[in-house]
Structure 1
Amino acid sequence: MVLIVDDNVSYTERMVEILSEDFQSVRFYTAASFEDAVPFIDSIDLQVAMLDINLPGKSGIDLLNYIKNNKKPCRVIMITNQAFDSYRRKCLELGAEHFLDKTSDFEKIPVLLAEMLEN
């Protein structure tokens, strides 16, 4: 099970549409904010969370902290337009496995997701 958290609803809908073609047996969930995502994280056995940094209220970095501080076995990919080196370092230090730029790394998502779901 995969959770995609991004406040751009058309982006999450498009991601689910594209990824569902390659990952037909995977269940995808979406959330638009930290507050929307927490119930999924707390109640579903997620394999991967794909988090945007810029969310309304608390950030995707806050959500990454929440996942790791609550010792969830969920693996994390940060996918953002805020692809600054300082954010990259911070997210990787906090436990994200990958940090991708939405605009230039989009084609990497299916490959990384396949690897993460297999292991």
Structure 2
Amino acid sequence: MTLGILVVDDEPDIEDLFRQRFRAELRTGQLALHFASSAEQALECLASGLQPEAVLVLSDINMPGMSGLDLLERLRSELPTVPVVMVTAYGDTENRQRALEIGATDLVTKPVDFAALKKLVNSVIARKTAA
């Protein structure tokens, strides 16, 4: 079974970085990565029905337009069962606290430790598929 992850980040090199770091999982068909460069685009992608369906959203917090925290609020009301991990360059306690209060599954700081992120992704997906 291929599991979909939607990565939301306005940085243009994020797609290449994630494809490189998850190369083995993509090659074996374990994961499919979807990308959105804004929160608004992420909502459009989710509404149009990604294939495979996104079972996890990884979203940057600081983006132009709608922030990742605003996106998280929308996802909690519209797709409450989809886990959301917030990714930010600002690991301050205020962003962490607000993200967790809104309903983030976890918060990861940049630069991303991809070994730790893979463990987190695997544990979130395991919980999601066991439910």
**Fold match (TM-score > 0.5):** yes
Return structure 1 stretches of 4+ with deviation > 6 angstroms. none
Q: Quick check: 1:31 aligned with 2:36?
A: yes
Partner of 2:68 in structure 1? 60
**Distance in 2 of aligned mates of 1:90 and 1:13:** 29
Alignment of 1:6-85 (within 5 A): 6-22=9-25, 24=28, 25-42=30-47, 43-44=49-50, 45-85=53-93
In the alignment, structure 2 segments of 5+ residues that lack a partner are none
Query: Residues 106, 26 of structure 1: CA spacing in aligned structure 2 closer, same or farther, 3 A cutoff?
Result: closer
Q: Give, in angstroms, the shift of residue 46 of structure 1.
A: 1.6
Q: Quick check: 1:91 aligned with 2:99?
A: yes
**Distance in 2 of aligned mates of 1:41 and 1:95:** 18
Contact in 2 for aligned 1:53/1:61 (Cα 8 Å):
yes
Contact in 2 for aligned 1:41/1:67 (Cα 8 Å):
no
* TM-score normalised by L of structure 2: 0.82
What is the CA RMSD across the aligned residues, in angstroms?
1.6
Residue correspondences, number: 119
Amino acid in the other structure paired with 1:31: A
SS in 2 for 1:112: helix
